[in-house]
Amino acid sequence: MNQDHLVAELKRLAVKAPDGVASNVLVGTGIVDGYVRRSSVLGDLLVAFGTNGVTAVELAGDPGGFVATYEQRFGKRAVPVDRVPPVIARHLDTAIVAGRPGRLPVDLDRLTEFQAAVLRAAATIPRGEVRPYGWVAKEIGRPGAVRAVGSALASNPVPVIIPCHRVVRADGTFGDYSLGDPSNKRRLLVAEGLDVAAFEERAAHGVRFTGSDTTGVFCHPTCRHARRTGVGHRVEFASEDEARAAGYRPCKVCRPVAA
How far is Cα 88 from Cα 92, in angstroms, rounded to an integer? 5
Give the active site residue among 164, 219, 251, 254.
Answer: 164
**Alpha carbon distances (Å) from 179 to 153, 189, 222:** 11, 14, 23
How confident is the prediction along the chain (259 residues), in pLDDT tens digits per residue? 566 665 566 456 544 444 445 566 667 666 899 999 999 999 999 999 999 999 999 999 888 899 999 999 999 999 999 889 999 999 999 999 999 999 999 999 999 999 999 999 999 999 999 999 999 999 999 999 999 999 999 999 999 999 999 999 999 899 889 888 889 999 999 999 999 999 999 999 999 999 999 999 999 999 999 999 999 999 999 999 999 999 999 999 999 986 5
Active site residue 164: yes
The per-residue pLDDT for 140 is: 96
In 46-112, where does DSSP find H-type helix? 63-74, 86-98
CB 45 within 8 A of CB 59: yes
- Which residues are CB-contacts of 101 (< 8 A; sequence separation ≥ 6)? 95, 123, 161, 162
